[in-house]
Structure formats: structure tokens, C-alpha cells
Amino acid sequence: MSVVKINVLTVHAEQREVLEQRFASRAGAVENSDGFEWFELLRPVEGTDQYLVYTRWASEEAFQAWMSGPMQAAHRPAGESGQRPAAAGSTLWSFEVVQSTGPK
């Protein structure tokens, strides 16, 4: 059963472009991971300053393997990378896919 992880990022207006550029330049950071199924970066339209980072994985184990390996390199602390974080905070939501459908 697939699992979905949604990272809820609080991003102030002046940091939106920075966040989006960083995600755009991360090519291959997650796409080549075993068990990876889908990614979307969702920009808020109105009423919130929270972006949603949606990823779908074949299993919890696949997600945890990415978290303990490739994700660590892609998300170095600001002091190590020299970049200030674009997000002011984050929360991780976890879901199991119970039903799914697509276009016919």
C-alpha cells in the first residue's frame, strides 16, 4: 500500500520565490529514490502562507530509506550549506492511500 507524506512549510511572502527556485534546482534529489512514486510542490493561492510538499511512496520503508540517506544531503542545515532556510517552519503529515483513481 502506498503512503503519502505532506510536508507543510510556512513560507513568508518574501521567501516564496527562493523556496520555489530551490525546489526547481533539486532535480533528481527524490525522483531517483527506490520506492518513490510522485512529487508535487503546491503554492498557496489565498488565505495561508503554507506550501504543501506532496510525495507518494511505495511503502513507509521506502520513505524512511530516503529520509535516512538522500534527504539528508538534499536538506543540509543552513549553517552547512551557507543558505538561510526559506521556510519559517514545517510539519510532516502522513497518510496511507486507501483509494486511488485516475483518468479513464
Question: In the chain, what are the helix, strand and coil shares in percent, each to the nearest 5?
Answer: 30, 30, 40
pLDDT in tens, 46-96: 999 999 999 999 999 999 999 898 676 655 554 455 678 889 899 999 999
Question: Which residues make Cβ contacts (< 8 Å) with residue 57, sequence separation at least 6?
Answer: 2, 3, 4, 5, 35, 36, 37, 63, 66
pTM of the predicted protein model: 0.84
